[in-house]
Structure 1
């Protein structure tokens, strides 16, 4: 295995094995070696998160393990984010996306992963965070003239707000396309509330956003 592959493998194993400090240091080392930050993200930390998700589905990992894997991912991403931002600024923007977890929902692991990927491929991403009020989505979409508004939810009681947000965007005259995702969200639900797209996972979400802006 070449030096680049070894570096990516170190990040992968650090995230998968709950090593927060190791994930951070391995990411620094990879950047110092000149490895492309998007490659580090896709083939290092995101690849590890996907494997963690697979282990969760098989019953090999449980929610506490997934949470720590996500923390390790975040440690790696914090090092990558400035480089990914510079990379996207040098490239032509694919479009402006407002993203957030809907009101009442404090879960943001999936949303943060999608944000990382969208920034990496060249979107301008405006992250509203979690527990975002309906009107804040509308105001930010209007402020930045968003091409897309992306909404996430992990709870069945909070995902109902997605339809309210879409209706509020339309009432305010926003032309932004909408995409929804999260564990309880389905393609049928997305269609029923009038969303323009549904993201079954983070990577599909990126492809859908590219489709929505015609790229």
Structure 2
């Protein structure tokens, strides 16, 4: 569900002012409307994207960016779906952050998919192209989820895909993160198989691809 721009602006302001109480109130109100975790994803992602843009333009400090991520992660923790029984251990799925060390997006996707009945291998954050390729090949991964924060990292996905295909890997690659939300065609430009804009979308992709879910 899309959150109104006015609420995104209010949440962003609360984050930048390190106002945990106000941020928590906004989270609570949004969730109360439709009980949708997807709405919280949208609110958090859009707010952090705008804060990131302002940091690049010199409008906010690095400490504000850091604390905004910390507060968002604290809030998300309270609304993450509960784990359920795993659906299919024969499908090997992994997730990792390419080059960047911002792990909030990965944590959200990881938790949503676990709650949706999938077992996920966490490759970690700050991975190089070589590291994510080697881990994928070594673990015989069927579906690889790659999260990125910066455009430069997103463009590296093509290197990952090219090397995997050169090694005859049948793995399907799903990409997500701010650059792919800002450019709807970027996932195709880097030769990924699917565009995963948020946890709910990735879950739908996996359910369709694997023929199941819970």
TM-score bin (small chain): 0.5 to 0.7
Match of 2:190 among 193, 196, 207: 193
For this pair of structures, how many residues does the alignment match? 169
Higher helix share: 1
Cα RMSD over matched residues?
A: 3.4
2:170 equivalent to 1:179:
no
CA contact (8 A) 2:176 2:196 kept: yes
Partner of residue 102, structure 1: 98
- C-alpha displacement at 1:69, in angstroms? 2.4
Secondary structure in 2 matching 1:88: coil
**What residue ranges of structure 2 are gaps of 5+ in the alignment?**
1-19, 29-33, 51-63
Query: Normalization by structure 2: what TM-score?
Result: 0.65
Structure 1 residues 179-188 or 68-77, which shifts more? 68-77
Partner of 2:150: 155
Determine the C-alpha separation between the residues in 2 that align with 1:126 and 1:140: 10
CA contact (8 A) 2:38 2:199 kept: no
Question: Which of 59, 66, 71 matches 1:68?
Answer: 71
What corresponds to 1:168 in structure 2?
A: 163
State the distance in 1 between where 2:193 and 2:199 align.
16
> Which runs of structure 2 are paired with 1:81-92 in the superposition (5 Å)?
84=83, 87-89=84-86, 91-92=87-88
TM-score normalised per structure 1: 0.65
Residue 48 of structure 1: how far off its partner (Å): 7.0
